[in-house]
A and B are shown apart, each in its own frame.
Chain A
């Protein structure tokens, strides 16, 4: 379960990216996070995996209190999360298998455990035959599937995806969504920040719309609003 209570995030330059935001997400939900660039979506996402700390308010995620937790507990929190980005964040000098296994390697799993888990997760994202390829030998969609495989190899309770289809064509985006739907069906909470109207409208889930740092709409099965349609640039904040 994820709970935000009266969360405000103010940057050191004085900009208030989120203002008094409260939100509850139950385990196993699929939530779209939509809003124009600069609305505060990325700030909200970064608060969830504790890249940022709220200025005011409380956040609990997977039983961790993010505002009060000590720095040394952050790795423990992140092991319960999977994070996927628009730019994939793969290591170019590692093969697909190594990139995926890296998430288990850094938490001290044995070679045998890593090998078994990588084989399983590669099959899950449909990349079994690309295991020994390097990221630059793959298409954008395949690279994103590697990133998703790395995010889910640790069997996280929550998957946070920040614009996972931002760089992909419609067909590839649909493939990625199919994978995310499968992951969600297993009971993993999926929170996806997106600008993709087609996906939001065709695959309806709970929709949370952010504007000017506040939640202006929280609707089960909500459609992407027409006003947001013109803005397709990803946010940097």
Chain B
């Protein structure tokens, strides 16, 4: 393909977009709504993935020490815990410290359990080098001497992961479904463009234009429809996400988790949506070209 041909295709595609003003506007609006929903859905999926990973990495095994364990026995226990494979870090938290945590989370009324009335146990907190080894670590720790129990959040964590996986899969399925809707919208618009230019296509075929020569202006027109349709959703998503990050994100940070930073999310998301929109535009056009290209 030479430069003259490329220039002709570009000019043709712009001309056609302008000529089909209202139909083009309808398709662009359709793409805008679809891409907005896809963008929101993808932002949700990416954040759920991140939170899920945060939670996964944050799973720790809490080993409760039996009440009458001596300091020497505790040292021995700590050494044994460190020897368990895949244990990355072992930290100690006395029962007084554990009570402090409860008081800070649930209020000062829990102070009444201070001193000898403290029913809590001294704890060793183990961090796993690999999150999936957590269960094995808990099982091995619970078998050691002077250990009353070893918890890892068990069924609760599994439930949380299942929920997060469902949210992620539903979000992706929803996005894919929406992309098909957008392809359908664009292909219908391009079909009307093609019908209005059927005589031109007939003549192109008669004088020996190749299928690709005929296809290109329509494919470009579809891509421009996608490009124009993506502008508004990108602005809405960028501004919306920044304000959500500043609001919800800060609250979430107090519990040790965080949303993806706007800089980390917005640019990759913008670029992906731009490429997706142009691709579905081109694909929509290609779909509707099929039967018009029979020689």
A residues bordering B, Cβ < 8 Å?
49-51, 71-72, 74-79, 83, 89, 91, 102-103, 105-111, 150, 154
Do residues B203 and A102 form an inter-chain contact, with CB atoms below 8 A?
yes
Number of A-B contacts (CB under 8 A): 59
Q: Which residue of B lies closest to A77 (CB)?
A: B208
The 8 Å CB contact of A50, one of B200, B211, B295, is: B295
Contacts of A76 in B (CB 8 A): 208
Do residues A72 and B211 form an inter-chain contact, with CB atoms below 8 A?
yes
Q: Does B100 contact A (CB under 8 A)?
A: no
Could you list 7 examples of A-B contacts with CB < 8 Å? Answer: A74-B205, A78-B206, A79-B208, A91-B200, A91-B203, A102-B207, A103-B207
B residues bordering A, Cβ < 8 Å?
1-2, 4-5, 8, 199-200, 202-211, 213, 295
- Top-4 shortest CB links A-B: A106-B209, A79-B208, A78-B208, A103-B207
Do residues B208 and A106 form an inter-chain contact, with CB atoms below 8 A?
yes
- Of the listed residues B199, B202, B207, the one surrounded by the most CB atoms of chain A closer than 10 A to its CB is B207
Chain A min CB distance to B169 (Å): 42
Question: Bound state CA distance, A49 and B207, in angstroms?
Answer: 10
Contacts of A50 in B (CB 8 A): 295
Contacts of B211 in A (CB 8 A): 71-72, 75
Task: Given A78-B207, A89-B206, check contact A108 B200 (CB 8 Å).
Answer: no
Contacts of A71 in B (CB 8 A): 211, 295
Do residues B207 and A150 form an inter-chain contact, with CB atoms below 8 A?
yes
Question: Bound state CA distance, A108 and B9, in angstroms?
Answer: 11
Contacts of A77 in B (CB 8 A): 208
Q: Which residue of B lies closest to A50 (CB)?
A: B295
Contacts of B5 in A (CB 8 A): 108
Contacts of A51 in B (CB 8 A): 295
Question: Bound state CA distance, A75 and B206, in angstroms?
Answer: 8
The 8 Å CB contact of A154, one of B1, B204, B208, is: B208
Question: Bound state CA distance, A110 and B2, in angstroms?
Answer: 9
Do residues A106 and B1 form an inter-chain contact, with CB atoms below 8 A?
no
Do residues A111 and B4 form an inter-chain contact, with CB atoms below 8 A?
yes
Task: Given A50-B295, A111-B4, check contact A106 B207 (CB 8 Å).
Answer: yes
Do residues B4 and A106 form an inter-chain contact, with CB atoms below 8 A?
no
